[in-house]
């Protein structure tokens, strides 16, 4: 008996081709309705900018500044309508501002984490305070942006600007924290030599080339999962939006890349209190304001162990830290159903409470 021939939908074939060849365009983002929240730029300094999200002009809450990662675009926090952390925050009346770190250029070879924290984030906070009249702001850091926000909150002078701190899948203790920590250990991993051919920036492809190997099973099954759920309402749209974001990578300034490997992975300097901001050593222990930390149990990029170091902070010791481990992945924790609703509730209640 002849087997019935199975033909994949043409739309599926075209989507897989775009994904595999990385030929997504801005037209694809527009078609999907990505980044649904209206944004108004309030300040720009090459290469970064900060924008106001939504139209809450008379919010009764302190402004929230969203600090994105350095390795991917910031729109993971405003992915699609109904799948947007920022949309949820704005709808709850919060006054939200979003930093876009932009694309580092060759002249940024000596720009490291200290510069991101004490110069650029400080400038963004000063601008928001001036516009809103607020004496303090709330910070929300995602992934490596969480490190930047936490470093700010740990500095004895800079922390005075911050009322509350939200950390989303933020690695604070990188020693022994998963495969990336093993691959970048000092044994046999000479990052200076590996990056010697690069001048001002380290290409995104250099860093991201290892990411598919963090979870090979997921990589091998992604197109099968798409096919199996292709007719499920809304599935292919969220799949495509996430795939567009995952392939929209950003170069590193060389110094910040070297610091990520040498200072944070190899020497664990934030946890050990040896990393310096404005010449002053800072440590996790010094964070003492109210903190919300949302951790993804299935995070294959930065593990729960890496995030759990917030428990070393004065905030945690004084019972001012909310620590939640949710059964989700690094990005699904804020975009997937139904876990995103739990995340949104935690965030909004944290920022709207006294």
* pLDDT confidence of residue 213: 57
Tokens of 131: 């516009």
Tell me the C-alpha distance between 67 and 147, whole Å.
Answer: 9
DSSP string, 254-290: HHHHHHIIIIIIIS-HHHHT-EEETTEEE-GGG--S-
* pLDDT confidence of residue 193: 87
Q: Between vectors from CA 101 to CA 218 and to CA 93, what angle results, nearest 5°? A: 85
pTM: 0.94
H helix runs in the chain, sequence order: 10-21, 26-32, 85-91, 113-115, 122-132, 144-154, 179-183, 191-194, 204-208, 216-228, 235-246, 254-259, 269-272, 304-307, 314-317, 332-335, 339-352
Which CATH code is given to the segment(s) 40-352? 3.40.50.1820
Backbone torsions φ then ψ of 124, nearest 5 degrees: -60, -45
Residue extents of the structural domains in the chain: 40-352
- Length of the chain equals 354
Q: Between vectors from CA 138 to CA 147 and to CA 344, what angle results, nearest 5°? A: 85
Q: Between vectors from CA 330 to CA 327 and to CA 333, what angle results, nearest 5°? A: 50
Which residue shows structure tokens 């209190």? 273
* pLDDT confidence of residue 1: 43
- Beta carbons within 8 Å of 193's beta carbon, 6+ residues apart: none
Tokens of 85: 């952390």
Residue 42 falls in which region: left (phi positive, over 0), alpha (psi -120 to 50) or beta: alpha
With contact defined as beta carbons under 8 Å apart, do 134 and 103 qualify?
Answer: no
The per-residue pLDDT string of the chain (354 residues; one tens digit each, 9 = 90 and over) reads 445 555 688 999 999 999 999 999 999 999 999 999 999 999 999 999 999 999 998 899 999 999 999 989 999 999 999 999 999 999 999 999 999 999 999 999 999 999 999 999 999 999 999 999 999 999 999 999 999 999 999 999 999 999 999 999 999 998 866 666 666 677 767 888 888 999 999 998 887 766 665 677 777 789 999 999 999 999 999 999 999 999 999 999 999 999 998 999 889 999 999 999 999 999 999 999 999 999 999 988 888 999 999 999 999 999 999 999 999 999 999 999 899 999 999 999 999 998
Q: How many CB atoms lie within 10 A of CB 153?
A: 26
Tell me the C-alpha distance between 318 and 310, whole Å.
Answer: 12
With contact defined as beta carbons under 8 Å apart, do 255 and 112 qualify?
Answer: yes
- Beta carbons within 8 Å of 321's beta carbon, 6+ residues apart: 290, 291, 292, 293, 310, 311, 313, 315
* pLDDT confidence of residue 194: 85
List 293's β-bridge partners, or say none: 167, 323
* pLDDT confidence of residue 354: 86
List 281's β-bridge partners, or say none: 276
With contact defined as beta carbons under 8 Å apart, do 253 and 112 qualify?
Answer: yes
């Amino acid at each position: 008996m002849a087997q019935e021939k199975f033909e994949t939908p043409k739309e599926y074939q075209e989507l897989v081709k775009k994904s595999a060849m990385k030929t997504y365009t801005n037209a694809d983002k527009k078609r999907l309705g990505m980044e649904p929240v209206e944004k108004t730029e309030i300040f720009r300094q090459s290469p970064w900018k900060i924008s106001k999200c939504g139209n809450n002009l008379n919010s009764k809450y302190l402004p929230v500044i969203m600090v994105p990662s350095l390795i991917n675009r910031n729109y993971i926090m405003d992915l699609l309508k109904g799948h947007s952390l920022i949309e949820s925050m704005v709808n709850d009346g919060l006054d939200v501002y979003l930093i876009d770190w932009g694309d580092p250029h060759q002249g940024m070879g000596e720009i490291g984490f200290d510069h991101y924290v004490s110069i650029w984030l400080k400038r963004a906070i000063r601008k928001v305070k001036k516009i809103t009249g607020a004496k303090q702001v709330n910070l929300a850091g995602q992934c490596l942006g969480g490190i930047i926000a936490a470093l700010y909150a740990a500095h004895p002078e800079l922390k005075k600007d911050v009322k509350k701190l939200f950390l989303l899948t933020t690695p604070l203790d990188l020693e022994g924290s998963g495969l990336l920590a093993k691959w970048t250990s000092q044994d046999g991993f000479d990052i200076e030599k590996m990056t010697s051919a690069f001048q001002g920036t380290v290409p995104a492809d250099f860093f991201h080339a290892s990411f598919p190997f963090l979870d090979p099973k997921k990589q091998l099954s992604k197109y099968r999962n798409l096919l199996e759920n292709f007719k499920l309402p809304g599935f292919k749209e969220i799949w495509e939006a996430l795939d567009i974001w995952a392939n929209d990578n950003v170069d590193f300034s060389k110094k910040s890349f070297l610091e990520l490997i040498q200072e944070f992975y190899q020497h664990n300097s934030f946890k050990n209190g040896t990393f310096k901001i404005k010449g002053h050593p800072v440590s996790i222990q010094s964070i003492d304001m109210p903190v919300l930390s949302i951790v993804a149990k299935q995070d294959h990029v930065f593990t729960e162990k890496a995030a759990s170091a917030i428990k070393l902070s004065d905030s945690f010791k004084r019972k001012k830290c909310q620590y939640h481990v949710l059964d989700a992945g690094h990005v699904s924790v804020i975009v997937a159903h139904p876990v995103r609703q739990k995340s949104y509730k935690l965030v909004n209640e944290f920022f709207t409470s006294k």
